[in-house]
């Protein structure tokens, strides 16, 4: 598999339980995105939608197809039918090149906004 990058912003980040799915991936760094998103608190995990704010992401390089499958499964993302999942994978530009980022497919009107754009800093 050709290396694929992921920009993760919630429970996949270091220090959270789901980061275990990225143990065999290479952590490339932590950074802020361009102001193109908005982050909300779903409860014990965040949701990101298109917007005009920066968010904090950790960028990983993945070389194993099984890791991609596990990430998509966790996020409820269906690459063959993106609108049907809880999230959909889109592309974001990072300092390490393009990366997949999971975008929330549902309404955010009843969710609390996270103005810092950093799930570790609520």
Q: For 24-54, what is each residue's pLDDT tens digit?
A: 999 999 999 999 999 999 999 999 999 999 9
Task: Write the CB contacts of 37 (distance below 8 Å, at least 6 apart in sequence).
Answer: 48, 49, 50, 51, 53, 54, 55, 117
- Residue ranges covered by each domain of the chain: 4-112
pTM: 0.96
Fold of 4-112: Hypothetical upf0131 protein ytfp (3.10.490)
Q: Is 75 a catalytic residue?
A: yes
Which among 23, 19, 24, 25 has a CA at the least distance from the CA of 5? Answer: 25
Question: Among residues 53, 54, 61, 75, which one is catalytic?
Answer: 75
- Taking the alpha carbons at both ends of the chain, their separation in whole angstroms is 36
- Please report the pLDDT score of residue 92 as a whole number: 98
User: Where are the strands (E) in the chain, listed by range?
Assistant: 4-8, 26-32, 37-41, 46-50, 56-62, 87-94, 97-104, 112-113
């Amino acid at each position: 598999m050709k290396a694929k990058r992921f920009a993760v912003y919630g429970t996949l980040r270091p220090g959270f339980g789901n980061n275990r799915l990225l143990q065999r991936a290479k952590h490339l760094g932590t950074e802020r995105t361009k102001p193109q998103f908005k982050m909300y608190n779903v409860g014990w995990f965040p949701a990101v939608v298109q917007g005009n704010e920066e968010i904090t992401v950790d960028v990983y390089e993945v070389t194993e197809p099984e890791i991609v499958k596990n990430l998509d499964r966790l996020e409820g993302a269906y690459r063959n039918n993106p609108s049907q999942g809880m999230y959909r994978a889109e592309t974001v530009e990072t300092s390490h090149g393009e990366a997949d980022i999971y975008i929330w497919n549902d309404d955010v009107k009843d969710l609390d906004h996270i103005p810092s754009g950093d799930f570790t800093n609520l």
